[in-house]
Amino acid sequence: MNNSIQVYNDKGKRVDQKNGHVNAKNSTILECGLNSKLPNGTYRIQWKAVSNDGHPVQGVIPFQIGSDSAVQDGTAIEAKSEGYTPQSDLIIIRWLQYFSNASYIGALFFLLLILQKDLVQNGYVKKAFKKILNYSLLLLFLSIIVSLPLMASIELTTSWKQVLNIETLKDMITNSAYGKTWLIQVGGLILLLIFTYLLHVKSKSLLYWISFIIGVGLILTKALTSHAASTTNVLLTVGMDFLHLLSASIWIGSLVVFVALLPLSRKVDTKNHYLEMIRRFSKWGIIILLVLTATGIFGSLLYIPSLRSLITTDYGRTLLGKVILLVIMIIFAAVNFTKGKRKSEKGVSPSLWGELLAGIIVLVLSVILTNLPTAMTSPGPIKESKTVNQGSKITFEATPNVIGKNTFAIDLKDRNGQPMKNIEQVVLTFTCQEMDMGEDTKTLLKVKEGKYEGMGMNFNMAGNWNVHVHVLTKDFETLDTDFKVMVGSQ
């Protein structure tokens, strides 16, 4: 839905055959035909697509026919790629979905595994759980229903008013990956409505477990529309993202229950029961924390190419904020665990509220993270060194390390750390690792002894590249090595 590709020359004239389409055998490829006998010069590809994880992205990819003159005289077109920046409507709706789903499964988790049997029939407890389940289900229903027109407005880059019609919404359901996921969510929602009604009528353990499993299934559908869905190893990444979301949901949902049941901590006959619930949950809390940590580290390694990108990209800064808040939650959790262990209810209320509020903000940041381009789109300049031929050192630099125009530099040092002087030629060979695009070469020019530079548009696709460095000395000796480069799109 809403995929397009167009090609223009440096005068702004369209030079493709206006037959842009998604490749029939590979849905990750947009292709179109070009007019015959295009003259030498600089061209730009303007593209727009919806990724596998349901996020709209668009950009410009420059390329050349002929020599590097367009790059050298400064007329080269800058490459750029833009992802969707989360707006207030998406943040609010997605947060409601995350929070309501977390509250629902957190309440059922609490009922099944934490709550003592002698409190199950307590009037206040029954009323509190009924309210949590009903309100959570209501918010979950609303957030899922309005998610369809929300995504339609995002993909079509238009207003809600323009998409609130049967034809557009039907097209969204039938012709987009998100539409199919949305239908699954609606199906799960209908089942939840039925089983929630049944468990209010017949309070049976089996009904609670079925409702819990359906709620967990809705968490899985969120993982299917996250960044994990756009990776090559979908099973692993979606699985890890699902575990991350599930553990966070159980933690935050259980905190909602603890806050709702706070009055029990102030009554003589139920105070010990409340503190015992804290101790019981703490055992599960350790498991939840371990899962969150392991899956969080996995995701960071997958989407954060360098420590630098934690500071220089929106994704990295948002992730850093989320980590800081999780640390705050852990501190509050440790305080609550200590109070439960010592059977002291003093100060439990503010620390529980603090932990829950931190968790609520974490969910907001999670929504933003899920809808931001990952830091892999902007890994930043690369500078790496390798030692070859018994001590000689080759340092490769690429700046800014994005698709399109880049400055390449090679620094050569001998085994004594001195600039190498006896150099005849330095040639770079570029090979894309994502798809077969052949090889592209670039001969660098001498700047000073041991320093060679050049500018070119050799990175014409984001992703993994291999750069082979070939150095020929005047004595016809060679130095060869390879550098693995992650090229950004913006």
Summarised one tens digit per residue, pLDDT across range 343-385 is: 666 767 888 898 899 999 998 998 888 877 777 777 888 899 9
Q: Which of 127, 5, 21 is nearest to 60 (CA)?
A: 5
Q: Please report the pLDDT score of residue 2 as a whole number.
A: 60
Tokens describing residue 240: 């890890």
Q: What is the pLDDT of residues 134-189, one digit of tens each?
A: 999 999 999 999 999 998 888 777 788 888 889 889 988 887 778 888 999 999 99
As given in the structure block, the two tokens for residue 19 are 């037959």
What is 243-276 written as a DSSP string?
Answer: HHHHHHHHHHHHHHHHHHTGGGGGSTTTHHHHHH
Q: Are both 88-377 and 382-487 of the same fold?
A: no
pLDDT band at 451 (very low <50, low <70, confident <90, very high): very high
Condensed to tens digits (0 to 9), the pLDDT of residues 256-296 reads 999 999 888 888 777 888 888 888 888 898 999 999 999 98
Q: With a cut of 50, say whether residue 473 has pLDDT above it.
A: yes
88-113 and 234-260 are packed helices; what angle lies between their axes, rounded to 10 degrees?
Answer: 70
pLDDT number for residue 405: 83
Instruction: Report whether pLDDT(69) > 50.
Output: no
Measure CA of the first residue to CA of the last residue in the chain; give whole Å: 23
pLDDT of residue 490: 65
Confidence of residue 70 (pLDDT cuts 50, 70, 90): very low
The reported pLDDT for the residue numbered 93 is 92
Closest CA to 422 of 398, 395, 443, 392: 392
Sorting pLDDT into bands at 50, 70 and 90, what band is 27? low
Residue 75: per-residue pLDDT: 47
CA distances from 471 to 276, 443, 452 (A): 71, 10, 11
**Residues 6 or more apart whose Cβ sits within 8 Å of residue 217:** 188
Per-residue pLDDT, 52? 56
With cut-offs at 50, 70 and 90, classify the pLDDT of residue 110: very high
pLDDT at 71: 43
Beta bridge partners of 316: none
* Structure confidence at residue 79 as a pLDDT band (50, 70, 90): low
| Cβ count within 10 A of residue 74 | 8
- State residue 484's pLDDT score: 92
Phi, psi for residue 392 in degrees, rounded to 5 = -65, 145
Q: Cα(182)–Cα(173) distance, rounded to whole angstroms?
A: 8
For 18: left if phi > 0, alpha if psi spans -120 to 50, otherwise beta; the answer is left
132 has pLDDT over 70: yes
Q: State which fold the 88-377 domain adopts.
A: Formate dehydrogenase/DMSO reductase fold (1.20.1630)
- What kind of fold does domain 382-487 have according to CATH? Immunoglobulin-like (2.60.40)
Domain 4-83 in CATH 2.60.40: yes
Q: For the ranges 102-111, 193-202, 250-259, 331-340, which has the lowest average pLDDT?
A: 331-340
Q: Distance between CA atoms of 40 and 66, rounded to whole angstroms?
A: 5
Inter-residue contact 375 to 313 (CB < 8 Å): yes
Angle 400-41-56 from CA coordinates, rounded to 5°: 50
Selection from 61-70, 369-378, 389-398 with the highest mean pLDDT? 389-398
Of 127 and 67, which is predicted with more confidence? 127
What CA–CA distance (Å, rounded) separates 15 from 173? Answer: 33
The string of pLDDT tens digits covering residues 45-65 is 877 776 655 566 767 777 777
CA 277/CA 191 separation, integer angstroms? 30
- Report domain extents, the chain: 4-83, 88-377, 382-487
Specify the range with the lowest mean pLDDT, choosing from 16-30, 355-369, 442-456, 458-472. Answer: 16-30
Q: Which residue has the higher pLDDT, 124 or 135?
A: 135
Tell me the average pLDDT across 243-266.
91
- Inter-helix orientation angle 123-155/234-260, to 10°: 140
Q: What does the block give as tokens for 353?
A: 């509220």
CB atoms within 10 A of CB 351: 17
On average, the pLDDT of the chain sits at: 85
Checking if the pLDDT of 432 tops 80, the result is yes
Burial annotation 165-176 (CB, 10 A radius, 16+ → b, else e): eeebbebbbeeb
Is residue 77 predicted with pLDDT exceeding 60?
Answer: no
- Of residues 25 and 71, more confidence is placed in 25
pLDDT recorded at residue 102 = 95
Q: How confident is the model at residue 429 (pLDDT cuts 50, 70, 90)?
A: very high
**Single pTM value for the model:** 0.77
| Structure tokens given for 320 | 């850093």
**pLDDT for residue 51:** 61
Averaged pLDDT, 187-194: 95
For residue 237, which amino acid is it? T
